[in-house]
A = this chain, B = another copy of it.
Amino acid sequence: MRALFAALLAVATGIALAFLLLPIAAIFLRVPPGDLVGALGHNVTRDALLVSIKTSAVAHAVVLLIGTPAAYLLARRRFRGRGVVLTLIELPLVLPPAVAGIALFAAFGRMGLLGDELDALGVQIPFTQAAVVLAVAFVESPFYFRGAIAAFEAVDGTLVDAARTLGAGPARVFARVALPLAAGGLGAASALALARGLGEFGATIIFAGSLQGVTQTLPLAIYAQFEQDFDTALAISALFIVVGALLLVTLKLYGWLRFASIFRSRFAASTSS
């Protein structure tokens, strides 16, 4: 019985990990290391890499700047229908990329909801890098939101109370207490969101098109390469995975550490009597 259960757990874990990691490992078997480096040589790759970096950076910055305070507000305030709002925020996760792309058109396209307003301002979003940024932000922000809200909710309320009795206004409380204590969680969430943003494909190709050097991000480039040079496509994919992994591991580990340290101090504090 006991042995059986232990075995069961072990097996399940084995399967799960194998299933998730095997495919990723497999790609590398398909790609000679040489190509990995070679891929970087391609000007397509370079352009795409630049576009990807540029757009993800901007999108991510925006998401952090707007998402963090928003998450803070949603985590602190208790209002009716809060649960629903928190769920709606996650809705974009459900959308198939194609639908997301269409949705973005429907909102910011020339024929879209804000089309006239934007026209009036002489702004044309679709098929520009702005469009890429929007698309990326749209798909990655729910990830950041989830994590950030959780992180802020985890901040001990009495610490906030303490800060206030010490004369700190909301802004100070946010900057000196909430932010540093949530740092770990925010870091992790940010990493995840960034990663997801880098991988964004469906919404981008529809809403922003795939213009080399303008709107063609790495994922789009990979797709485009299928038609031109298949091996390069594979190589870029592999390259991509490496980048993504590094990104996640570094930022996540950073996050873990922060969390760990904070957790430790909490633990000590709580067991100290």
C-alpha spacing A237/B104, complex, angstroms: 12
Asked if A100 meets B196 with Cβ closer than 8 Å, knowing A2-B170, A67-B16, A90-B248, the reply is no
Question: Beta-carbon contacts of A198-228 to B below 8 Å, as 1s and 0s?
Answer: 1111100000000000000011001100100
A76-92 contacts to B (CB < 8 Å): 83-92
Q: Which residues of B contact A86 (CB under 8 A)?
A: 252
Q: Is A45 an interface residue (CB 8 A)?
A: no
C-alpha spacing A170/B100, complex, angstroms: 44
Min CB–CB distance A103 → chain B (angstroms):
4
CB pair A2–B93 under 8 Å, yes or no, is no
Q: Which residues of B contact A9 (CB under 8 A)?
A: 69-70, 72-73
Q: Is A44 an interface residue (CB 8 A)?
A: no
CB pair A245–B199 under 8 Å, yes or no, is no
CB pair A26–B91 under 8 Å, yes or no, is no
Can you list 25 A-B contacts with CB-CB less than 8 angstroms, sorted by A residue number? A1-B169, A2-B171, A5-B170, A12-B66, A16-B89, A19-B137, A20-B92, A20-B141, A23-B100, A23-B107, A25-B107, A26-B103, A26-B107, A27-B106, A83-B253, A87-B249, A87-B253, A91-B244, A94-B198, A94-B245, A94-B248, A96-B199, A97-B199, A98-B201, A102-B233
